[in-house]
């Protein structure tokens, strides 16, 4: 090769660029879907699950939109727990998206009219991080409140089961 140094530099740069995904802050982005994804499609990928900033935005929205009022910090209250392995409507990103955007019949309000799809996907990423269903290095390392449970980064992965 004529420029071995240049090649090494280019390779290092590529590696660096690839490593930055977790830390990227994408302020304008087209969400994976701007409408309701069908529950039957298992392959919807939520790019926010790879991005620490988006997950912490989801964490902020979780408090702002008072998800805590019903689900507490994930352990559940009047609404079901979101950090355990039992899911009524499914743990897949698109099922969680539908739960949040359209609401569910037994008391889950619809947030689709209040939030753009992008922020619903950030909530999806955060909710799934509560059950350790997302990449560990992207899960929030701390919360701004008293911690009643270990931070999501400390959680062991759950195996989701769907109950009737």
What are the phi and psi torsion angles at 108 (to 5°)?
-90, 115
**Residue number, 7 or 36, with CB nearest to ligand HEC:** 36
Binding of residue 100 to ligand HEC (CB under 6 A): yes
Question: Quick one: 55 or 127, whose CB is closer to ligand HEC?
Answer: 127
Cβ neighbour number for residue 139 with a 10 Å cutoff: 24
Task: Confirm or reject binding of residue 48 to ligand HEC (CB under 6 A).
Answer: no
What tokens were used for 63? 């408090």
Within 10 Å of residue 129's Cβ, how many Cβ atoms?
A: 28
Question: Which of 54, 71, 119, 131 touches ligand HEC (CB under 6 A)?
Answer: 71
The DSSP bridge pattern shows strands 86-87 and 161-162 to be: parallel
Which residues are paired to 162 by β-bridges?
87
User: Which of 37, 80, 93, 131 contacts ligand HEC by CB under 6 A?
Assistant: 80
Site string for ligand HEC, 7-36 (x = CB under 6 A): ------------------------------
């Amino acid at each position: 090769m004529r420029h071995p140094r240049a090649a090494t530099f280019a390779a290092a740069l590529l590696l660096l660029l690839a490593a930055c995904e977790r830390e990227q802050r994408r302020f304008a982005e087209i969400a994976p879907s701007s409408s309701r994804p069908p529950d039957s499609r298992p392959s919807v990928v939520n790019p926010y699950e790879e991005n620490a900033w988006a997950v912490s935005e989801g964490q902020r929205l979780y408090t702002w939109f008072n998800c805590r009022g019903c689900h507490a910090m994930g352990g559940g209250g009047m609404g079901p727990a979101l950090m355990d392995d039992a899911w009524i409507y499914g743990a897949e990103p698109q099922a969680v998206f539908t739960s949040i955007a359209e609401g569910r019949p037994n008391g889950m309000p619809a947030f689709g009219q209040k939030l753009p799809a992008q922020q619903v996907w950030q909530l999806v990423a955060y909710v799934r991080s509560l059950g350790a269903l997302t990449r560990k290095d992207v899960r929030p390392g701390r919360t701004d409140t008293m911690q009643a449970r270990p931070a999501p980064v400390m959680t062991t992965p759950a195996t989701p089961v769907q109950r009737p």
